[in-house]
Amino acid sequence: MTRMDDTHSKLIGYLLWIFGFIGAHRFYYGRPISGTIYFFTLGLFFIGWIVDLFLIPSMDRAADSRYRGGDKSYNLCWILLTFLGIFGIHRFYLGKWITGLIWLLTCGLFLLGILYDLWTLNEQIDEANRDPAW
């Protein structure tokens, strides 16, 4: 079954691509393994980063068909994680008040929580959109 909710934005993808040599756009499009590889290899020594400039439209389509749209915006949540992640603002947005407070008081659970959220944020948003009581 293919869903074509417009959950992710090419504009956000290209903005994160600017920081793509650390894997930001790959995490955004739900590719945490390659995002981590990019993080540790500077975008596969910048070559993969340049190639991704042309792959973003297909990564965007794949993310749109993989994740469920709903009340919680993937774009807003990723912006909150990217710029305010150590304060847990994205967790407050998702209604996760307890872990939001923990992130706020521990700088994103000593930055390890940020790494966890980079790996799982799309699934967290998808779950929140699937379960309206979330």
Looking at the structure, tell me whether residues 76 and 105 fall in a common domain. yes
Contact present, 105 and 113 (Cβ < 8 Å):
no
Looking at the structure, tell me whether residues 28 and 86 fall in a common domain. no
The answer to the question of residue 33 being in a domain is: yes
Looking at the structure, tell me whether residues 20 and 59 fall in a common domain. yes
Contact present, 14 and 56 (Cβ < 8 Å):
yes
Looking at the structure, tell me whether residues 125 and 99 fall in a common domain. yes
Select from 66, 83, 116 the last residue of a domain: 66
User: What's the domain count of the chain?
Assistant: 2
Instruction: Check residue 12 and give its pLDDT.
Output: 96
Looking at the structure, tell me whether residues 75 and 127 fall in a common domain. yes
Looking at the structure, tell me whether residues 56 and 87 fall in a common domain. no
Of 3 and 2, the structure prediction assigns the larger pLDDT to 3
Looking at the structure, tell me whether residues 74 and 125 fall in a common domain. yes
Stated length of the chain: 134
Looking at the structure, tell me whether residues 95 and 80 fall in a common domain. yes
Instruction: Check residue 2 and give its pLDDT.
Output: 45
In the predicted model, is pLDDT for residue 1 greater than 50?
no
Average pLDDT value over all residues in the chain: 93
The answer to the question of residue 2 being in a domain is: no
Tens of pLDDT, residues 24-61: 999 999 999 999 999 999 999 999 999 999 999 999 99
- Local confidence band at 64 (pLDDT 50, 70, 90 cut-offs): very high
State the residue range of the domain holding 48. Answer: 8-66
The answer to the question of residue 3 being in a domain is: no
Q: What is the percent of the chain with per-residue pLDDT over 90, rounded to a whole number? A: 90
Looking at the structure, tell me whether residues 26 and 84 fall in a common domain. no
Instruction: Check residue 3 and give its pLDDT.
Output: 53
In angstroms, rounded to a whole number, what is the distance separating the alpha carbons of residues 1 and 15? Answer: 30
Tens of pLDDT, residues 69-118: 999 999 999 999 999 999 999 999 999 999 999 999 999 999 999 999 99
Looking at the structure, tell me whether residues 103 and 125 fall in a common domain. yes
